[in-house]
Amino acid sequence: MSSTLQLYNTLSRKKEIFEPLNAPHAGMYVCGPTVYGDPHLGHARPAVTFDLLFRYLTFLGYKVRYVRNITDVGHLENDADAGEDKIVRKARIEQLEPMEIAQRYTTSYHSAMEALNVLPPSIEPRASGHIIEQIAMVRKILNRGFAYEVNGSVYFDVEAYNKKYAYGKLSGRVLSDMMTNTRTLDGQDDKRNPFDFALWKKAAPEHIMRWESPWGDGFPGWHLECSAMSSKYLGETFDIHGGGLDLMFPHHECEIAQSVAACGHDAARMWVHNNMITINGQKMGKSLGNFITLEELFTGSHRLLVQAYSPMTIRFFILQAHYRSTLDFSNEALQAAEKGLQRLLAAGKSLALLKPSGKSTLDVSSLLSDCRAALDDDLNTAMALVSLMEWVKNINSVKAGAETLTADDIARLSKDFTTVAFNILGLKDSSQADGGSVGKDLSANLINLLLNLRMQAKAGKDFATSDKIRSDLTALGVTVKDTKDGFEWSIS
Ligand code: ZN
């Protein structure tokens, strides 16, 4: 199969046609969350971005193996090689087992993802479940001369690596510049150079999360898990590695160095990075008081929020920007997204009620072709949404009688609208009765069926039946409005 999709590869710094190694199979690895706190806005953007890529690749006909990990060990404070493990620290504060913390926040991450209609990955490996693979990788790197052991810890030897390969090629850093700019070691450190990073850390006697290794009891370095788990599930070479731009250095740079040191070649062929979210123009941070969890957004319970925003409003808002642009959250911008989403969902409902005509005054094929062209161009969801919203206007024009469509075109438009809005962009109508998309479609269809029966009753002057259907629906929370040529309904 020949691909139409172009993606910007951070590694080559240009857009490239996406051609998987073993089409129709495509392998994608995305760095998942470190599970030590409630999921927040910063989690939503990579999740939605790579969910979109997963959905679009699937739409294009690829069989995608999407691996997204859970970091439940080894991520030390400040992303550094020193300091406490983030999960261990939280467990100490809450007086729980580290695995209770990891489980609790994995569960809350999953429920936030489900609310955002983010599909589960094909495989979701945990770092703590892959200690054997990580130890094997450390051995390989040691054997090839790119690491050294000191006092029960193993460090990656960046200088030795840089003599043979280029360290810093992803982030564009140059080692000689880093050497002049980094602090000198304070003598307490086991590392030969400040930019060396831990592959394996010796566990202090009080450290809870520890495993046996050839170098004594310890735990893996944070960067190592992704190299070990991606190669385990996707092979030594795979198609796409994704993540947030904040992970590019040092995390992804170190992943590349580890894979090349262990195998002699790059693991991922394409690196895709989503840009960051800012809040009212500022970087999000706990110390700045603008740290908003997804739960707070969904319930409106943060002092910066003037109202609650539904998960679908958040998703729509994220999709309104190209994933490589920064995205600024503000109440005004979210309220605008909410309105846009409502218009889109209302048009989706109107589609089922459009009256066919003998001829079409609009070319319905443009909806899918325009949206595909936008998404093929490095997942330009901003442009895809512009095209889709153009069709929202068109649907309203047909409804108002200003434009006409044949029955075949209405059917095709409904199908393409569903494909783009719901299957690819992953939006859904959360206002309808919950029970999965099938249940929601069924409720909408049943309401339309009852209202069509009511129209027949009215036409036959059976006002008792017509009134009963209306009042019973009202009692169920369905507001019915009679219009010139039919009806409209909404769920309160
Ligand atoms: Zn990672």
pLDDT per residue as tens digits for the range 262-277: 999 999 999 999 999 9
Angstrom distances, CA of residue 395 to CA of 103, 229, 343, 351:
46, 47, 11, 7
Report if residue 132 sits inside a domain: yes
Report if residue 430 sits inside a domain: no
451 lies in which domain range?
436-491
What's the gap in Å between 202 CA and the centre of ligand 1? 21
- The residue that leads in pLDDT, 17 or 431, is 17
Domain boundary residue among 253, 274, 295?
274
What's the gap in Å between 164 CA and the centre of ligand 1? 24
What's the gap in Å between 247 CA and the centre of ligand 1? 8
Out of 44-58, 412-426, 429-443, pick the least confident.
429-443
**154 and 254 in one domain?**
yes
**222 and 351 in one domain?**
no
CATH of the domain at 292: 1.10.730.10
What's the gap in Å between 254 CA and the centre of ligand 1? 10
What's the gap in Å between 227 CA and the centre of ligand 1? 8
What's the gap in Å between 253 CA and the centre of ligand 1? 10
Report if residue 1 sits inside a domain: no
**417 and 452 in one domain?**
no
Which among 89-93, 281-285, 486-490 has the top mean pLDDT?
Answer: 89-93
What's the gap in Å between 484 CA and the centre of ligand 1? 58
For 400, other C-beta atoms within 10 Å of its C-beta total 8
What's the gap in Å between 230 CA and the centre of ligand 1? 9
What's the gap in Å between 12 CA and the centre of ligand 1? 19
- CA gap 74, 151 in Å, rounded: 18
Per residue in 247-259, pLDDT tens? Answer: 999 999 999 999 9
Q: What integer pLDDT is reported at residue 440 of this predicted model?
A: 55
Report if residue 50 sits inside a domain: yes
Report if residue 431 sits inside a domain: no
Cα dihedral 43, 182, 140, 10 sign: positive
**412 and 473 in one domain?**
no
Q: Contact, 47 vs 57, CB < 8 A?
A: no
Per residue in 268-305, pLDDT tens? Answer: 999 999 999 999 888 887 777 788 999 999 999 888 99
pLDDT exceeding 70 applies to what percent of the chain? 96
**440 and 418 in one domain?**
no
**199 and 77 in one domain?**
yes
**310 and 212 in one domain?**
no
What's the gap in Å between 330 CA and the centre of ligand 1? 29
What's the gap in Å between 196 CA and the centre of ligand 1? 18
**210 and 329 in one domain?**
no
What's the gap in Å between 32 CA and the centre of ligand 1? 7
Overall average pLDDT of the 147-176 stretch? 95
What's the gap in Å between 409 CA and the centre of ligand 1? 46
Report if residue 370 sits inside a domain: yes
What's the gap in Å between 160 CA and the centre of ligand 1? 23
pLDDT exceeding 90 applies to what percent of the chain? 77
Angstrom distances, CA of residue 370 to CA of 62, 70, 344, 486:
21, 36, 17, 32
**284 and 266 in one domain?**
no
* 214 residue type, one letter: P
Coil, strand or helix at 82: coil
**Burial annotation 337-374 (CB, 10 A radius, 16+ → b, else e):** bbebbbebbbbbbebebbeebeebebebeebbebbbeb
Out of 17-26, 184-193, 201-210, 429-438, pick the least confident.
429-438
Q: What integer pLDDT is reported at residue 104 of this predicted model?
A: 96
What's the gap in Å between 68 CA and the centre of ligand 1? 9
What's the gap in Å between 208 CA and the centre of ligand 1? 23
What's the gap in Å between 133 CA and the centre of ligand 1? 15
Largest CA distance in the chain: 94
Report if residue 260 sits inside a domain: yes
**204 and 129 in one domain?**
yes
- CA gap 27, 47 in Å, rounded: 17
**224 and 152 in one domain?**
yes
What's the gap in Å between 252 CA and the centre of ligand 1? 7
What's the gap in Å between 354 CA and the centre of ligand 1? 48
What's the gap in Å between 198 CA and the centre of ligand 1? 15
Going by their DSSP bridges, the two strands 25-30 and 153-156 should be labelled as unpaired
What's the gap in Å between 30 CA and the centre of ligand 1? 7
Q: What integer pLDDT is reported at residue 374 of this predicted model?
A: 98
> pLDDT confidence of 441, banded at 50, 70, 90?
low
Ordered DSSP codes for 177-193: HHHHHSPPP-SS---SS
Domain boundary residue among 392, 424, 456?
424
Domain boundary residue among 244, 274, 304?
274
- Edge to edge, the sheet with strand 327-329 lists 282-283, 277-279, 327-329
Report if residue 429 sits inside a domain: no
What's the gap in Å between 226 CA and the centre of ligand 1? 5
Q: Identify the H or E element spanning 388.
A: helix 381-400
Overall average pLDDT of the 174-202 stretch? 81
CB-based neighbours (< 5 A) of ligand 1, an ion: 31, 226
What average pLDDT does the chain have? Answer: 92
Residue 438 pLDDT more than 60?
no
What's the gap in Å between 379 CA and the centre of ligand 1? 22
> pLDDT confidence of 188, banded at 50, 70, 90?
low
List of residues 6+ apart from 134 with CB closer than 8 A: 127, 200, 220, 224, 225, 228
Question: How many distinct structural domains can be found in the chain?
Answer: 3
Q: Identify the H or E element spanning 94.
A: helix 86-94
**313 and 386 in one domain?**
yes
What's the gap in Å between 124 CA and the centre of ligand 1? 12
Q: Contact, 21 vs 63, CB < 8 A?
A: no
Ordered DSSP codes for 11-73: TTTEEEE---TBTTEEEEEE---BSSS--BHHHHHHHHHHHHHHHHHHHTT-EEEEEE-BB-S
What's the gap in Å between 39 CA and the centre of ligand 1? 17
What's the gap in Å between 220 CA and the centre of ligand 1? 13
Q: Identify the H or E element spanning 239.
A: strand 238-244
As given in the structure block, the two tokens for residue 336 are 């605008």
* 481 residue type, one letter: K
- CA gap 66, 240 in Å, rounded: 9
What's the gap in Å between 100 CA and the centre of ligand 1? 22
- CA gap 87, 219 in Å, rounded: 13
Q: What integer pLDDT is reported at residue 186 of this predicted model?
A: 59
> pLDDT confidence of 338, banded at 50, 70, 90?
very high
As given in the structure block, the two tokens for residue 431 are 């206002």
What is this structure's pTM?
0.86
